[in-house]
């Protein structure tokens, strides 16, 4: 059943694959190239990216990672650059990501790094389907 759902998700999201192909903004020159205001979702994603790095460091040191669950629930409601990015498939994958995020906090300390890796995989799953531009950057969050 879960497999079938995933298949449906991918089939559906294939149609919007062409969107979100511009690489993530990295310099002020890019800001000139992309004068559109950054969307709520894009800003949230950047925060998710930098917080993931911080979270990983904390886990490695055996420290308690900052609890971001409530904050990142905004992924479900934040406005995206193109309204068409927020598909039913997006919502399914966003919920998978939030579940994985939750597991990072619920896991015993020694299993947290593993749960973190699974969470980053959920970032990548959605990006592979909907927004391949930042994939290289996201992959880096999982390399030692
Ligand atoms: C449910 C789908 C989904 C999940 C899960 C997801 N993303 Fe995204 N991400 C997107 C979409 C769609 C955009 C484009 C947002 C826009 O342009 O409004 C995006 C944009 C980005 C960007 C580019 C932001 C910019 O500068 O424009 C980065 C970086 C990013 N995501 C990183 C991550 C990381 C790290 C995670 C996991 C912690 C993650 N994403 C999880 C769908 C997702």
Name residues of the chain where pLDDT drops below 50: 13-18
Q: Which residues line the pocket of ligand 1, CB cutoff 6 A?
A: 20, 24-25, 39, 41-42, 45-46, 48-49, 52, 80-81, 85, 90, 93-94, 97, 122-123, 126-127, 130-131, 134, 137-138, 141
Cβ-contact 129, 7 below 8 angstroms: no
The predicted structure's pLDDT at residue 17? 46
The predicted structure's pLDDT at residue 15? 40
Measured in angstroms, how far is the CA atom of residue 89 from the centroid of ligand 1?
14
Atom of ligand 1 nearest to the CA of 49: 35
Residues 15-52: b if buried by 16+ CB within 10 A, e if exposed:
ebeeebeeebeeeeeeeeeeeeeebebbebbeebbeeb
The predicted structure's pLDDT at residue 70? 98
């Amino acid at each position: 059943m879960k497999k079938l759902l995933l298949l449906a998700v991918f089939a559906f999201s294939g149609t919007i694959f062409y969107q979100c192909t511009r690489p993530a903004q990295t310099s002020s020159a890019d800001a000139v190239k992309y004068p559109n205001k950054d969307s709520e979702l894009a800003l949230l994603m950047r925060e998710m990216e930098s917080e993931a790095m911080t979270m990983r460091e904390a886990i490695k040191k055996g420290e308690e990672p900052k609890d971001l669950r409530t904050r990142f629930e905004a992924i479900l409601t934040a406005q995206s650059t193109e309204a068409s990015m927020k598909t039913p498939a997006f919502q399914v994958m966003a919920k998978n990501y939030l579940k994985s995020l939750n597991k990072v906090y619920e896991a015993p300390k020694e299993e947290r790094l593993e749960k973190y890796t699974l969470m980053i995989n959920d970032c990548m799953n959605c990006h592979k389907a909907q927004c391949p531009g930042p994939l290289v950057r996201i992959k880096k969050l999982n390399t030692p």
